[in-house]
Structure 1
Amino acid sequence: MVEQPQKASTTFYEVNQKVYVHAHFGLSLRKSPDPKAEKVGVAQYGEALEVVALPEADQTYVAETVDEFQLKGHWVKVKNADQKEAYVFDGYLASFPTIEEEPEEDIALPEWFYMTLSKPKGEREITPPNEKEGIVEGYKQAYQDGGEFELILYNGGVTQFLRIPTSTLTFSQALVVLRSFYFSNAKNLKIVRNAKTKKIKVNDTGNPYEWLEFEEKGDKVIVGFYSAD
C-alpha cells in the first residue's frame, strides 16, 4: 500500500472556507505549490479566495526571516471569484476580511478592526489625566475573547495597545495583518528584532516618529503602536 502524504494539521482554514489576502501588494498565484512555479495570476489585497484543498504537512515555506523569527506557512490550493484554481502562500492569508470602511466616530482604527474579531465586553474603562506621566486622557476596552485595546493620549504623542489572545491571532498572523493595517506602503517598511527582548519593531523609513512593536507574552500577543509629534 502506498502511504499517502499527511495533510497539514496546523492550518486555520478548511476546504471550502473563504480566506482573505492581507498582503498590501497582493499574492502571486502559482501553478504548483512551489515559490518558483509558474505565476498564473495575482490575488489583490483584500481579495477573497476559497480553499480547494489543504496543503501537505511537509510543504512548509519560509517567506521572511527577521533574526531568529521566521514567517512560514504552506502553499494552499485556492480558487478566486473567476473559479480559477492556483496555489498561494497561506502565511499572508487570514480567515477575516481586511477593513475597508472608515471607523465610527469616537472609535480608534485598531479598536474598529478588533471588533471584527470579537465583541466588546462591558463599557470602556476611562484613564484619568496624569500630569506627572504626561497623560492627557485615555481608555481601555475589553473584548469577549479576552483581548484588550488601550489608548493613551500624551502631551506630544499617542500610544495604542492591542493585547490579543494567541487563540485569536498567532504572533505571525498579528504581524502580517497589523503591519499592513497600520502601514500601507510596505516598500518602505523596516523590520528588526531585538535579540534580547525578542520584540519585533516595524516602522516606515519615511517617518521615524511612528512605529509598531510586537511581543509574545504567555498566551497574549502584545502589539504597541507609538506615535510622537
Structure 2
Amino acid sequence: MRQSILLLLLSVLAFSCREKKPAPEVVVEQPKKASTTFYEVNQKVYVHAHFGLSLRKSPDPKAEKVGVAQYGEALEIVALPEADQTYVAETVDEFQLKGHWVKVKNADQKEAYVFDGYLASFPTIEEEPEEDMALPEWFYMTLSKPKGEREITPPNEKEGIVEGYKQAYQDGGEFELILYNGGVTQFLRIPTSTLSFSQALVVLRSFYFSNAKNLKIVRNAKTKKIKVNDTDNPYEWLEFEEKGDKVIVGFYSAD
C-alpha cells in the first residue's frame, strides 16, 4: 500500500513539473526622449517673425546670411536640430525666448539654417474674417474647431459692459470679447498643449501688431506678465500670462 501511494505522489509531482510553464520574460520599455521640436522632417512650417527671419549658411547666429524668409513664408524642414543647439534669441527680464537652429529649404529649393523660435506649424492669417467674427476668433479656428455656440455676455451698466460673448474650442481654449463704453477687451485662453507661452508670444504679437514698426516688450517682475505695445499707439497693448495649463493673452484697446 505504501509503495502504491508513493508511486502515485511521484507521478503527480512529475506531471506538475511537466505542465509548469516558464515565467514570461518581462520587457521593460525604455522611456522615450522628449522631443525638442514641434515639427518633423519634410513638414511645412511658417514664419511668424514680425520682420522676417535670417537664413544662415550654418547653425550659428554669426554665420553668413544667405537670405531672408518673410513673415508668412512657408519653409520645409530638411533636418532636425541637435538638442544641444539651444539658442536664446530674446531676454526680457527673467524670461528667455529659446529655440534651435533648424535646416530648411524655401520655395526656390534653397537650403539654409533658421532659428525655429519664430516658426509655427500653422500659417499666418492673411484673409478677412467671416462677418460678425473678431479676427482673433477667426485666427483660433486655425488651431482648433469651435465647441458649441457662443455664450452671450449681457450688458452690465455697473461695470460699463455694453455687450460681449465667449466662444469655446474643442482643445479647451476660449476666446472672449467684451465691449465697454470706453474701449474693447479680448482674451484668448490657450492650452499650453496647443501653444506654449513662447509660441503664443511670438505668434500673437505679430498677429495683433503686424503693421507696427516700434514694438516695446517689458516684463512685470511682480506679476510675471509680459506686456507688448506699439510705442506709436499707447492706447493698445497685449498682456501674456501663464496660469496652470493655460496661456492667458489679453488685448486691450481704449478709445
Could you list the structure 1 runs, at least 4 aligned residues long, displaced by more than 6 angstroms after superposition. Answer: 1-8
The CA distance in 2 between the partners of 1:105 and 1:161, in whole Å, is: 19
The CA distance in 1 between the partners of 2:99 and 2:223, in whole Å, is: 24
Tell me if 1:180 matches 2:183.
no
Greater relative contact order (CA < 8 Å, ≥ 6 in sequence): 1
What SS is found at the alignment partner of 1:201?
strand
The CA distance in 1 between the partners of 2:183 and 2:204, in whole Å, is: 20
The CA distance in 2 between the partners of 1:171 and 1:15, in whole Å, is: 24
Q: CA separation of 1:189/1:9 partners in 2, compared to 1, >3 Å: closer, same or farther?
A: same
The CA deviation at 1:217 is: 0.1
Q: CA separation of 1:109/1:20 partners in 2, compared to 1, >3 Å: closer, same or farther?
A: same
Cα contact 1:74–1:91 (8 A) shared by 2:
yes
Deviations 1:33-73 (A, max 9, x none): 00000001111110000000000111100000000000010
Deviations 1:1-56 (A, max 9, x none): 99999998220000000000001211000000000000011111100000000001
Q: CA separation of 1:102/1:182 partners in 2, compared to 1, >3 Å: closer, same or farther?
A: same
Task: Name the % identity.
Answer: 97
Q: CA separation of 1:145/1:6 partners in 2, compared to 1, >3 Å: closer, same or farther?
A: closer
What SS is found at the alignment partner of 1:141?
strand
Q: CA separation of 1:159/1:19 partners in 2, compared to 1, >3 Å: closer, same or farther?
A: same
Q: CA separation of 1:65/1:5 partners in 2, compared to 1, >3 Å: closer, same or farther?
A: farther
Q: CA separation of 1:155/1:75 partners in 2, compared to 1, >3 Å: closer, same or farther?
A: same
Q: CA separation of 1:202/1:86 partners in 2, compared to 1, >3 Å: closer, same or farther?
A: same
The CA deviation at 1:185 is: 3.8
- The number of residues matched between the two structures is 229
Q: Under a length normalisation based on structure 1, what TM-score does the superposition of the two structures give?
A: 0.96
Structure 1 or 2: larger strand share? 1
**Paired residue for 2:93?**
67
Tell me if 1:121 matches 2:147.
yes
Contiguous gaps of at least 5 residues in structure 1: none
Q: CA separation of 1:2/1:224 partners in 2, compared to 1, >3 Å: closer, same or farther?
A: closer
Q: CA separation of 1:6/1:42 partners in 2, compared to 1, >3 Å: closer, same or farther?
A: farther
The CA distance in 2 between the partners of 1:145 and 1:65, in whole Å, is: 30
Contiguous gaps of at least 5 residues in structure 2: 1-26
The CA distance in 1 between the partners of 2:107 and 2:30, in whole Å, is: 31
Give the root-mean-square deviation of aligned CA atoms.
Answer: 3.4
The CA deviation at 1:164 is: 0.1
The CA distance in 2 between the partners of 1:58 and 1:10, in whole Å, is: 10
The CA distance in 1 between the partners of 2:170 and 2:118, in whole Å, is: 26
Larger Rg: 2
Q: Under a length normalisation based on structure 2, what TM-score does the superposition of the two structures give?
A: 0.86
The CA deviation at 1:156 is: 1.1
The CA distance in 2 between the partners of 1:52 and 1:67, in whole Å, is: 34
The CA distance in 1 between the partners of 2:34 and 2:104, in whole Å, is: 15
The CA distance in 1 between the partners of 2:113 and 2:28, in whole Å, is: 25
Q: Which of residues 29, 32, 45 is equivalent to 2:58? A: 32
Cα contact 1:7–1:54 (8 A) shared by 2:
no
